[in-house]
A and B are shown apart, each in its own frame.
Chain A
Amino acid sequence: MSAPMKKCHVSATVNGEPREFLCEPTQVLSDILRNDLDLTGTKEGCTTGDCGACSVMLDGALVCSCLVLAAEVEGSEIETVEGVAKDGVLHPVQEKLLEHAALQCGICTPGIVVAAKALLEQNPDPSEEETRYWLAGNLCRCTGYDKIIRAVMDAGAAMRGE
C-alpha cells in the first residue's frame, strides 16, 4: 500500500526548451506542467476535460492537458500559454483580449489564448458561429463570452492584415 510509485522519466520540448521530468504513471500533464515545471499559467478548473482551462498544444494538436498522461509526452513538443508571446511580443489574440476587455477574473484566459490561437492557425477567418463552437470547450463564467468572441475574431482580422 502506497509504496512510492515507480516513476517514469520523460523528455519533452516545452515552449521550445528541452525539459525532463519524472512522473508517476497516473499523473497528468497539467499536474507536471504546474507543479514540476512551474508553468502555472495552465489552469485546472475541473481535471475532467470539461472546462478547457488547461488547454495546451501537444504536437500541434489542441488538447486538455488534464486528459493527457505525463508519461505519454515522451519526445513530444508542448506549447503552453507561457510560450505564446514570443520575444516579449504578445500574440494578436492576447493583444485583442486585452483591448476588448475580454476577461474578468482571468482564470479561463490562458486556455482561451491557447485555443483561440489554434483556431486562427487552422482557420484564419472564422465566422462567429465557428468561433463559438471552437471555443465551446473553454468555459467562462464571467463574461458571457461576447467580448471573447469579438476579440478572437478581431485578432483574426489583425492577423489577416485587416
Chain B
Amino acid sequence: MTSDMKVKTQFRHVGTRPVRPDGLDKVTGRAQYGADRNLQGQVYGHIVRSPHAHARIKSIDFSAAEKLPGVVATMSAADLPEPGDRLIPGAEVEMKLKNVSPVIMARDKVLYHSQAVAAVAATSPRIAAEAAALVKVEYEVLPHVLDMHAALADDAPLLHEDNFTVGMDPPPEKPSNVSVYVAMAKGDVEQGFAEADIVLERTVTLPMCHQAYIEPHACVAKVDENGKVDIWCTTQGQFMVRVLTAEVTGIPQKDIKVTPSEIGGGFGGKTTVYIEPVAAVLAKKAGRPVKIVMSREEVFRASGPVSDSETRVKIGVKKDGTITAIDSDMLMNTGAYSASAMFAGVLFGTAPYKCENIRSIGREVLTNKPRVWAYRAPGAPQALTAVECVVNELAAELGMDPIDLRLQNAVEEGDIPLYGVPFQPVGLKECLEKVKEHPNYQVPLGPNQGRGVACAFWINAGMQSSASIHVAPDGGISVQTGNPDIGGSRASMALMAAEVLGVPVETVRPAVMDTDSIGYCDGTGGSRTTLATGGAVIQAAEKLVEELRRRAAASWQVDIEDVAWLDGKAVERCGIGIDELIEGSSPIKDGAKVLTLAELAATAGNTGGPLTAVASLHAHNAAPAFAVNACDVEVDPETGRTTVLRYTCAQDVGKAIHPAYVEGQLQGGAVQGIGWALNEEYLWDENGVLDNAGLLDYRIPVASDLPMIDTIIVEEPNIMHPFGVRGVGEAPICPPVPAVTTAVNNAAGILLYDLPLSPPKVLAAIDERD
C-alpha cells in the first residue's frame, strides 16, 4: 500500500460499539480456555524443575518414577534434537533455537531456578506430581549471578562459555555475560549539551516484573499412529506454536496442527511456548493425549518475565525549552538467554522529541534469572521512563508546565526519529493538548498530592496476516482469521467486514481458526491485529464485493462497472456516478435492478459456485502510536503509601474500530503501568529463588486500588491504512510508569527513581529528605 491511497473517513459500522460476538460465551462460562478441554484417554504431564539457579546436570534417573503405578511416559532434553546454531526459520524476529530449546528442557546446564529439566506423564495430576518428585537429577551446583552489575564484573560466573557480545566492533576476544551491544546516534550530542542552558542526568531502574495474565499456560496434545500431532493450547499465535514445537521437537510443521483456545490474557507473555513441545513429546511416547497446565507458581518462576533495567539519561535544554541533546545508556537484563527487547528501548525511548542530537546505547546482560519475554511495548517502558522523568524535572526547573515543554518539542509530520523513518501525520500534539484541557488537569492539588505527566511512543507492527470470508446460502457471513482474540479483535473484524460488505454487523460471524484452516498469520502481538489482520479482512471483503458485483453484472448482462455495491446489495448504476453513490442514502434510480446479498448467495451454485474470498498480506503500512497520560496521587507521609487519585490517558489510535475496546486497552495498560511503578516486582532470595511466586505477594493492582481511568481517543488516521488504523494495545503501558513516578516524587517532595516506588522506599526517601 502506498501513501497516496484513499483513507476512508465516513463509516456506518466502524466506530460503533456493538456487543462483542464472543461475549455471550464469556459471561456464561461456556467459552473454552486452555485448561478447559479434556480428551478421551488423556494423561497428565508434570515438569521437573531445577532447584538451583545455576548448575551442571550430571545425570537424570527416571527409574524410581517409572516404577510408580500410573506413570506412562518420561522425557528430558535427550528426547529433543540438539539446537546447534540453528536459526528458527520464519520466526517473527530472528531467533536462535539454542535460546528457545533449553527453556523448554534444559540441556547440560540449568541457568535459572525452576528451569525445566525433565517431565513425566501419568494417569492423574497427583500421580504425575509424585512421579516428578521421584525423578533423580544429579547436579553440580555452580555460582550464580542475578544482578546485572555483578554479571558485568570480570570475575562474574559465566552463563554461556560461547557468548561473545554481538554488535561490538571489533568483536570481543573473550566471552562475557553481555549478549548484545547496540549504539545508535544522530547529530552531535556533545555539541547539543554545549548549547544547553540546563543539563540534567538521572539513573532510573525498573524491576523485573511479570505480565501476570490470569490464565496460566495450558495445553493438551495428542499424537496419532502416523505421528500427526494435534495441539490445543492458550496462545497468542497458533502458527508460532506450530513452528516452535516443530523446531524444538524435530517433528515437521506439516505434521502439527495447532488449535488456539480462548486466551485468558497474554500481554506478550504467550508469544512463545513453554509446555506444548513437552506435551507433544510425552503424548508421542505415551500413545495417549497429554494435558499440561502450569501452576501459578510455575508461571511466575519459569515463564518469561520482563527485563529489569537500569537507564541513565542525560538531557540538555535551553532556557526557552528547546531540548538540545539526549544521551541514553541502558542495561537490560535478559535472564538466562538472549531474548530481551533492548533494541526497542534503545530506538524508541527518545522518539517523542524533535531533538537533533541523540545518542542511545544499550547492553543486554545475561544473568541466572528466567529468560525474559515480551510484555506490552517490550523494551519501551525501561527507556521511556528515564527520559520522561528527566523531562519532567527539566520542566520544573524551567518553570514550565510539563505539557507545554513537551508541546514545544513534540515530533510532527516529517520529523525523523532515531530509527530513521520519517513520521507521517502523528497525533502527539493533539494528545498533549487534549490532556492539558481535560478537567482532571485543572483540579488544584492538596497537601501530600502530586501530579505527573508523561508521553510515549510505540512503533506498532504490521507483519503477515490472512483472512477468509465465506457466504452461507442465506447470506450469512463467516469471517475467519488466524489471530487469537485477546481483547475483542473478533468484534473489530466483524465491524470491518460489515463496513465493506454493507451488512449489519450481527450477520457477520467472526472466528479464529486452527493452523490447518487458514493461511499463515503472525501472532497476536505488536499491536498489529486490527491493522494487519483487519487489513486482510478488508481486502478479502473487497474481493468478495467485486465477485458479488461480477455475478450481478453477469445475471443482468451488463458490464461490472455498471454495478455498484451499496448497503449490502448489488445495484445497477444506470449512469449515476460512483461518487454520488453514498451508502445509506443512495440515489438508486427508479427501475434500477437490485440483487441483495441473500439473493446472490441463494443462487451462487448457479452463478459460479460458493462465494468465498481470501486475502493474505505482509503489512508494511503500520504507523506509530503516541500516548500521553496525566496522573494525580497522594502519598501518606507517615507510611509512604501512594493512592492514585485521578488518571487520564490519551492516545492517537488512528481510527478506533470499536471505541469501547480501545478505551479498555488504554485503561488496562494504564493500570498495568501503575502496578509496575508502585508495587510489582520480582523479589529474590540469596539462592536465586523467586520469593514472591504467587498473586498474593506479586502485587498487581486490585479494583479498590484505583480510581476510574479517564480516556481520550485521538484519531489521526494512518494514511497508509484503508480505514486509518494504527494499532492500540501496547503504547498504553508506557506513559504510566514515568507519570506515576513523577507524581509520587512531586507529592512526597523526594527524588526516587529506584522502582517500584513501594511504601518502604518512599518512606525512607521522605525520612532522608527531612
Q: Which residues of A are interface residues toward B (Cβ below 8 A)?
A: 1-2, 5, 24, 26, 34-35, 39-48, 50-51, 53, 80-82, 84-85, 90, 94, 97-101, 103-110, 113, 128-129, 131-133, 135-150
Contacts and interface: CB of A to CB of B under 8 A. Distances in A.
A107 B265 contact: yes
Interface stretch (B151-159, B468-476, B501-509, B694-702): B694-702
Contacts, number: 193
Nearest to B125: A31
A101 B265 contact: no
B704 interface: yes
Nearest to B34: A107
Interface string B700-732: 111111101100000000000000000000000
B404 to A, nearest CB: 28
Interface residue SS majority, chain B? loop
A104 B27 contact: no
Contacts of A100: 660
Question: Which of B24, B127, B671, B705 has the largest number of chain A CB atoms within 10 A?
Answer: B671
Nearest to A97: B27
B28 interface: yes
B38 A35 contact: yes
Contact of A141 (B27, B213, B665, B670): B213
B706 A46 contact: no
Contacts of A26: 126
A97 B32 CA distance: 19
Question: Which of A41, A110, A129 has the largest number of chain B CB atoms within 10 A?
Answer: A41
Interface string B332-364: 000000000000000000000000000000000
Given A2-B69, A101-B664, A107-B264, A140 B214 contact: yes
B755 to A, nearest CB: 19
Interface of B: 17, 19-20, 22-24, 26-33, 35-36, 38, 68-70, 126-127, 130, 211-216, 262-267, 293, 295-296, 486-488, 658, 660-661, 663-665, 667-672, 694-696, 700-706, 708-709
B487 A104 contact: yes
Interface residue SS majority, chain A? loop
A101 B660 contact: yes
B19 A98 contact: yes
Given A98-B20, A135-B704, 7 more contacts: A105-B265, A107-B264, A108-B264, A109-B26, A135-B703, A137-B702, A149-B703
B38 A47 contact: no
B213 A105 contact: yes
Question: Which of B30, B266, B658, B708 has the largest number of chain A CB atoms within 10 A?
Answer: B708
A128 B704 CA distance: 9
Given A107-B214, A144-B709, A149-B708, A138 B487 contact: no
B61 to A, nearest CB: 17
Contacts of A85: 28
A138 B703 contact: yes
A101 B488 contact: yes
Contact of B29 (A1, A41, A105, A135): A41
A139 B704 CA distance: 11
Contact of A45 (B214, B663, B672): B214
A133 B36 CA distance: 29
Question: Which of B264, B488, B667, B669 has the largest number of chain A CB atoms within 10 A?
Answer: B264
A42 B660 contact: no
A98 to B, nearest CB: 4
Contacts of B702: 136-137, 139
B267 to A, nearest CB: 7
Given A98-B19, A101-B20, A143-B668, A41 B694 contact: no
